[in-house]
Amino acid sequence: MALLQIAEPGQSPQPHQRRLAVGIDLGTTNSLVAALRSGVSAPIADADGQVILPSAVRYHSDRVEVGSVAKAAAASDPFNTVLSVKRLMGRGLADVKQLGEQLPYRFVGGESHMPFIETVQGAKSPVEVSAEILKVLRVRAEAALGGDLVGAVITVPAYFDDAQRQATKDAARLAGLNVLRLLNEPTAAAVAYGLDQNAEGVVAIYDLGGGTFDISILRLTGGVFEVLATGGDTALGGDDFDHAIAGWIVEQAGLSTDIAPGEQRGLLHAACAAKEALTNADSVSVSFGAWSGELSRAHFDSLIEPMLQRSLKACRRAVRDANIEVDEVKAVVMVGGSTRVPRVRTVVGELFGRTPLTDIDPDQVVAIGAAIQADTLAGNKRNGEELLLLDVIPLSLGLETMGGLMEKVIPRNTTIPVARAQDFTTYKDGQTAMMIHVLQGERELISDCRSLARFELRGIPAMVAGAAKIRVTFQVDADGLLSVAARELASGVEASIQVKPSYGLTDGEIARMLQDSFQNAGDDKVARVLREQQVDAQRLIEAVQAALEADGERLLDAEERMVIDLQMQELSELMKGSDGYAIEQQTKRLSQVTDAFAARRLDSTVKAALAGRNLNEIEDN
């Protein structure tokens, strides 16, 4: 029985052993997948040589179309063709109505409060629609790279809240992707730009996409990308420019504002074409139906001015939050297709007092940066210093307190990962449960903030009112996702926590969708689950192998080492069979016996860093 061949840590693995990982930019208008190959990060093209995949999904009764073909049908089949689904991720039905635009879809409510779209294939949640786009990109990448993906880094707007991020992760899961990290789009762009230019100092990333706006201020110091502050607006983007022009057309053409869905799509399409034409012309002729007219760039600029001002206000706030002066910003980078609009470049240049940089294609820069991080996270060690991304939570996290007020627990722009504790007590004798309402936002009233979830704590030991001291720990991980733990301090009892997300899919809904996707893919569910268990087992074995090679001799005694080797051998054997349950159990067992070893390794790494020495030096002793 051959052991898996693992390259020694510190040496780059053979090409055929390289762990395949990609960066995915799941955009409002366009999506891309990129990968690092031969040291160069670049987007992966489809069979026709196109790198951009329009974020359009069309449901037929018997199949799903994704991309340009789907987009082209938007006007003729508005109910079944979903565009800009990113704007619906992590949102509720009420938000969708508030977005103000006339979305042509037929919405229905689900178990959760997410808006499901009624299509010819039944009700689809935005998460499922996004999964279709991700699936296409995954298949494209696997074909181009010649193998299964270890995982993907998927980018999200920096200003996305917890619900929007969780929805993105759920979509990736449905698409069969292992998410290595959810990466903020401006940070991804900073990586691409920073590594390209070997930049140091404070940079600003102005990211205006189809549906979202982000501004991030970062400090680059020798491979460490530290986000100082981030801001934005998840409902501001190029789509809004299109709507402004569409409104102008409706007015000029004397049309009624009650337009049929198909026509509305056609209208937005004409508006978008006009917007793009004005990038290189002073005026453009626009026609819609029987009407035609002339739109000047000057008038277009006046139509979008209020939106641009909103973005500049967010920029000024980010600069304040970063605790810097505007002139400390050494470079401003333009990201997102909408930054091609000349007026955008002008106003941003005016605010920062310098010409914005557009060296890297604004449509591709995010995916390119994500692919670089994906390669590192997948475990392909690089020579020299690996980049380190220190990101922040974009919105304050807090709790509902008496009187409908929001009390902040973790302020915005706090570096993540972060953990904060808050102590609570009971107010009735014998109280054994408690409900905590968590929100995100900056305002005082909870009605002005974003409800994230309600956490029900159960199993609090019954005591006299006020005697229990329950420490609730809020932890935000590197993906920007919140988890909550609670413990009664006197007794040490851990409370069990049931999470009820305000805008997320329920566990039941996800399970059903996963089931559907197995069936649609024609996979036998059992075979699929077995394969997942084998992949998990393999991953753990590889990780343990690498850990043993690095620190086994130094941190384990002979007996401990033997136990681990035995369990690993057992798992390798079981993996070859088809008893999924046994594989799962043995994976857990191996994980358990390597627990202490893992803890020792981490302590040792920290001590080494403290002592200011490189880990390699210690191994040489």
Binding site for other proteins (CB under 8 A): 19, 150-151, 180-181, 221-222, 224, 226, 313, 316-317, 320-321, 373, 376-379, 386, 388-390, 414-419, 475, 477-478, 539-540, 542-544, 547, 591, 594-595, 598-599, 601-602, 605-606, 608-612
DSSP H stretches of helix in 104-255: 126-145, 162-174, 185-197, 238-253
Question: Rounded distance, CA 95 to CA 85, Å?
Answer: 14
The C-alpha angle 47, 361, 58, rounded to 5 degrees, equals 45
CB nearer to other proteins: give 490 or 609: 609
| Surface-to-core class of residue 541, CB atoms within 10 Å of its CB (0-12 exposed, 13-18 middle, 19+ buried) | buried
Q: Kindly give the pairing relationship between strand 433-440 and strand 450-458.
A: antiparallel
CB of 455 to other proteins, least distance (A): 19
- Asked about 62 being catalytic, the answer comes back as no
CB nearer to other proteins: give 284 or 351: 351
CB of 321 to other proteins, least distance (A): 8
Q: Residue written as tokens 């986000």?
A: 227
Query: Looking at beta carbons, which pairs linking 590-594 to residues 24 or more positions away fall under 8 Å?
Result: 590/540, 590/541, 590/544, 590/564, 591/540, 593/563, 593/564, 593/567, 594/544, 594/547, 594/564
Q: How many CB atoms lie within 10 A of CB 144?
A: 16
- The gap from C-alpha 404 to its chain's centroid, in whole angstroms, comes to 30
CB nearer to other proteins: give 55 or 216: 216
Q: What is the DSSP letter of 259?
A: -
Q: Residue written as tokens 């893919």?
A: 521
Is the bond into 104 cis (omega within 30 degrees of 0)?
Answer: no
CB nearer to other proteins: give 490 or 599: 599
CB nearer to other proteins: give 338 or 376: 376
CB of 376 to other proteins, least distance (A): 7
The C-alpha angle 246, 248, 254, rounded to 5 degrees, equals 100
Out of 161, 162, 207, 551, the active site residue is 207
Q: Residue written as tokens 């002729």?
A: 285
**110 near 509, Cβ under 8 Å?**
yes
- Asked about 361 being catalytic, the answer comes back as no
- Asked about 25 being catalytic, the answer comes back as yes
Out of 46, 128, 132, 185, the active site residue is 185
CB nearer to other proteins: give 113 or 601: 601
- Asked about 207 being catalytic, the answer comes back as yes
What are the strands of the beta sheet with 115-119, ordered from one edge?
107-109, 115-119, 122-124
Q: Annotated catalytic sites, by residue?
A: 25, 86, 185, 207
